[in-house]
Amino acid sequence: MVSQSSASDGTADASYANNADIRSLFLKYWQELERCPNCINLGMGMPPIELFKYELEAQEEFDAGRQIWQAEYQHQAGDKSVREAFSKFEAERTGIAYTAENIMLVSGALRGFSLVLDCLVKDGTRVVEIVPTYPLCSGQARNASERRGGKLLTVVPKDTKTFQITFEEIKPYIQPSTIIYLTNPNNPTGLYLPKDVLSKIVTTCENEGAYLIIDQACDLPLNPIYDDRTYLDSPSVIRILSLSKTYLLAGFRLGYVVANPQLIEIFSNAFAFSDGNAPCVANKAIIKYLNNSQLMPLFSKVSRHKVELALNRLTKCRSVIEFIKPEACFYIFLKISYPYSSWRLFKELVSRGVNVVPGCLFGVREGCWIRICCGREDDVLIKYLDKLSQALDSL
């Protein structure tokens, strides 16, 4: 395991943030925010629905779901027509000939992730994560490893500017009985793993009998991607997707897993005896969204605009010494000129009325990084960023 040097502030906060288990740190993050309910929110945010209002209009479909479908149960992997629609959508995006048998619906990407780990982690399994990573995934990776006798290994990329892992860094970890998980695009950096690195990881996992879980919850490219993704067509690859970001349905808890049919059968059988069924109420609305080819390009266009606006504004802030220009989604990871830990900075900013996500929640403990969310109305975003800049420059 590659370790990070700890922040040098030497305070109780720094020592807490450096040593705390990610699960308690994540809860503490929410507790801190509760103390400051009037904070402006540049943190764990999602774009307001108003940004896409008319295009996301599906009132009739949701109503129909409530009236007609609510009395139903469905196949444990989800309704066949919805799985077919997802397989078509994924086939178009990747070039892989997916069918309904490759898909199962889950209650959000996070439940998909925990379900896959629950099914695959056994005594002695090595679960490998790559920093930075999403706090809820890392918490679940720890839960599953502890419960099932697995061993968790954390890899920190040498590249401290963009945190991109190289194949040489990850290769030694790919062994039999290994599950590697990564977020692609990465949350918080918004960068995709280069195709040559990802395809080599896939091939090596397949050769070694290891699994690769790719959490694609943030897969909302800011510019169109034309590369051939057929290299993902492997029995070792388990892809996890979410409707939370792409259709702003976080509250519905909807996601889906894409994998080979044997794995889907294992996962959906386990799901039936843990969660019962995925909810049916949004089935009709999902089909409507999937049939609208304009929605994804619109989300990309709006997100691109927000990110550009925010970057433009942030380059004027003296305290921002580095930023990672995202390729996807609506978050930006920023390095701040601040001699103490990101946890301490987070608390300072909250006390000044600004909520951001500290880098330590993503496992980044070297340097002071924060993640901000740009999914806001333009005037709100500008106002919030100016407030953030003022707060940072006054520290």
Ligand X SMILES: Cc1ncc(COP(=O)(O)O)c(C=O)c1O
Residues that bind ligand X (CB under 6 A): 108-110, 134, 137, 183, 187, 215, 217-218, 242, 244, 250, 255
Residue nearest to ligand X (CB): 108
Q: How far is CA 390 from the centre of its chain?
A: 29
**CB of residue 132 to ligand X, shortest distance in Å:** 10
**CB of residue 310 to ligand X, shortest distance in Å:** 18
**CB of residue 21 to ligand X, shortest distance in Å:** 19
Tell me the C-alpha distance between 111 and 99, whole Å: 22
**CB of residue 116 to ligand X, shortest distance in Å:** 12
Nearest to 356 by CA among 379, 378, 387: 387
- Choose between 100 and 257: whose C-beta lies nearer to ligand X: 257
Tokens standing for residue 333: 């990871």
**CB of residue 374 to ligand X, shortest distance in Å:** 14
**CB of residue 154 to ligand X, shortest distance in Å:** 16
- Choose between 14 and 264: whose C-beta lies nearer to ligand X: 264
Tell me the C-alpha distance between 318 and 14, whole Å: 24
- Choose between 173 and 331: whose C-beta lies nearer to ligand X: 331
288 CB-side CA count, 13 A: 15
Tell me the C-alpha distance between 241 and 219, whole Å: 8
**CB of residue 107 to ligand X, shortest distance in Å:** 8
Tokens standing for residue 41: 């929110």
Q: What angle do CA 191, 197, 202 make, to 5 degrees?
A: 115
Cα→Cα distances 54→64, 242, 298, Å: 18, 21, 11
Contacts of 108 (CB under 8 A, 6+ apart): 242, 244, 250, 253, 254, 255
320 CB-side CA count, 13 A: 23
- For CA atoms 22, 24, 27, 28, give the dihedral sign: negative
